[in-house]
Amino acid sequence: MPFNQGLLLETISALPTCKRLLIAYSGGMDSHVLLHAIWGLRSELTAEIHVVHVNHGLQSDASVWAESCSDFCVSHQIPITVVEVDATPAKGESREAAARDSRYRAICSLMEVGDILLTAHHAEDQAETVLLQLLRGSGPSGLSAMPIINGFGPGFHARPLLECMRSDLAEYAEQNQLRWLEDFSNSDTSFDRNYLRHRVIPLLKQRWPAMEKTISRSASHCAEAQQLIEEAARIDLRDMQLGQDNSMSVAALSAMPPPRARAVIRTWINDAGLRLPDTARLDRVLREMLTAREDRNPMVNWADVELRRYRDRLYLLSALQKFDPVTELNWDGETPLELPSGLGVLSVKPAKSGISRKMWEESQVTVCFRVGGERCKLLGRDNSKSLKKLFQEYGVPPWERDRIPLIKIDGQLAAVGDIWLCDGVRLEETDAVLKICWERGTGL
């Protein structure tokens, strides 16, 4: 589809109303054309224009690129944020994937509710993405490739040039005498995408000149099929006893045929905003986790995601941070206390029943974690029990047990997080008392 500013304005006007448009600007031709065209439309847009340049630091001239992008924006009075990221790939991760993930994480951190990120992906990018996904053995989700708009962080990610050919962008750049930066790594065919772009796609286009359009059509068909799969899976999910802990019934999942169970698990993970597992790990979930004995606690992990089982439940978690349970914190009892390893924040507030305010204010309050041997006598119980027994009795998952803060008053265990109070600190409703509040963090 030929590129012009009128078409771009029409595409952007169809997007959700927003306060800010964030333009991902690398300095290359594609993003330069997008920025220049939007800048030309600024009087017709209600949203503010803001530019984001991510410096991956992977090339010797990365700082030159950042400076050039800043100079263009300053000369055109466009606000720009330059973000430096560490794009060093993890073990087993490609440099392309590491750069992409670090770039989007950095941009997401800058977004506010309702913001729309605009990137300069075009029809050829779409074709390359579909071919890459096909060669990786992806299913309908992967072959759906890039949508024109999807949710992203607290806002959206839109690709207004997705139906445009790169040649049309080049024509616009020439007509407007634009100057841009050339990333010479784009010609390095050791990267999969570049190999397709320079070696494979030119051959395919000799035989099928309209391949970008037909591949895009196939991607649309896959997107429709994937939407139907996810809608059916969400109906199943509503019957899976998902609670506040985002856990799933093993028995219900085991009763499903494997293809249906896989669809449910993928949709569950995707809706949680976590990265999907590969086929091998997904098969392990069905083969190992669903068939494990109830007294076992198997786990399958990938990237920064963990899928764990406890009794008849599957739990979906972000990877737990490293944590040293031999930690003791002094707490003044007034200021909210931030716990280590992303475990959250402790605070207190007035309540009808809880810990004596007088005892709280006159005592030394410390916070520690379970190392073994701790006991608590719950209110109304005749005898104290070890925390290990209490956790088992109340079904607290094993990986949480050592990460639950223990609040001590003058060295005596008074509370187990915001779950239980130990006998001796709870008073009648007529007394001035405090309630412990625990805002759980991402580390649990």
Looking at the fold, whether 50 and 183 belong to one and the same domain comes out as yes
Q: Are 156 and 16 in contact (CB under 8 A)?
A: yes
Last residue of a domain, one of 218, 251, 267: 218
Asked if residue 158 and residue 264 are part of one domain, the reply reads: no
Predicted confidence at residue 245, as pLDDT, reads: 73
Write down the residue that tokens 């088992």 correspond to. 392
Single out the residue of 273, 335, 265 nearest to residue 307, CA to CA: 265
pLDDT score for 212 = 92
Residue 230 is assigned to a structural domain of this protein: no
Number of other residues whose CB lies within 10 A of the CB of residue 300: 20
Question: Do residues 47 and 21 make contact, with C-beta atoms less than 8 angstroms apart?
Answer: yes
Q: Is 76 in the same domain as 190?
A: yes
Residue 333: per-residue pLDDT = 87
Q: Does residue 424 surpass a pLDDT of 80?
A: no
pTM of the model: 0.78
Residues 313 and 396 in one domain: no
Residues 180 and 98 in one domain: yes
Question: How many C-beta atoms surround the C-beta of residue 338 within 10 A?
Answer: 13
CA distance 44 to 59: 37
Please report the pLDDT score of residue 92 as a whole number: 65
- Residue 1 pLDDT exceeds 70: no
Task: Compute φ and ψ for 243, nearest 5 degrees.
Answer: -110, -165
| Total of domains in the chain | 3
Judgement on whether residues 13 and 63 belong to the same structural domain of the protein: yes
129-185: pLDDT as tens digits: 999 999 999 999 999 989 999 999 899 999 999 989 999 999 999 999 999 988 878
Give domain status of residue 323, yes or no: no
What is the number of helices (H) and of strands (E) in the chain? Answer: 16, 21
Does residue 367 sit within a domain? Answer: yes
Burial class (CB in 10 A: 0-12, 13-18, 19+), 211: middle
Q: Tokens 């003791």 correspond to what residue?
A: 328
Boundary (domain end) residue, out of 318, 350, 380: 318
Q: Considering the domain boundaries, does residue 232 fall inside one?
A: no
Domain residues for the domain of 294 are 239-318
| CATH number of the domain that residue 105 is part of | 3.40.50.620
CATH number at residue 272: 1.20.59.20
Q: Is the pLDDT score of 290 beyond 80?
A: yes
Question: Does residue 138 lie in a domain region?
Answer: yes
Question: Where would I find the H helices in 41-164?
Answer: 62-75, 95-110, 123-135, 140-143
Residues 261 and 402 grouped into a single domain:
no
Please tell me the least confidently modeled range out of 230-239, 249-258, 294-303.
294-303
Q: Among all chains, which residue has been given the structure tokens 């449910």?
A: 264
Asked if 133 and 247 sit in the same domain, the reply is no
CB atoms within 10 A of CB 291: 11
In a domain? residue 88: yes
- Residue 51, pLDDT above cutoff 90: yes
Domain termination residue (choose one: 184, 218, 252): 218
Q: For residue 368, is pLDDT > 70?
A: yes
Residues 293 and 340 in one domain: no
Residues ≥6 apart with Cβ < 8 Å to 201: 124, 127, 128, 131, 211
Same domain, 183 and 251: no
Instruction: State mean pLDDT over 350-364.
Output: 87
Q: Are residues 26 and 160 in the same domain?
A: yes
Q: What would the pLDDT profile of 5-50 be if each residue is shown by its tens digit? A: 888 999 999 999 999 999 999 999 999 999 999 999 999 999 999 9
Is residue 103 within 8 A of residue 143, CB to CB? The reply is: no
Residue 11 and residue 158 in one domain: yes
**Considering the domain boundaries, does residue 390 fall inside one?**
yes
In a domain, 177, yes or no: yes
Cα–Cα distances in angstroms (integers) from residue 333 to residues 327, 328, 357, 436, 439, in the given order: 18, 14, 10, 10, 15
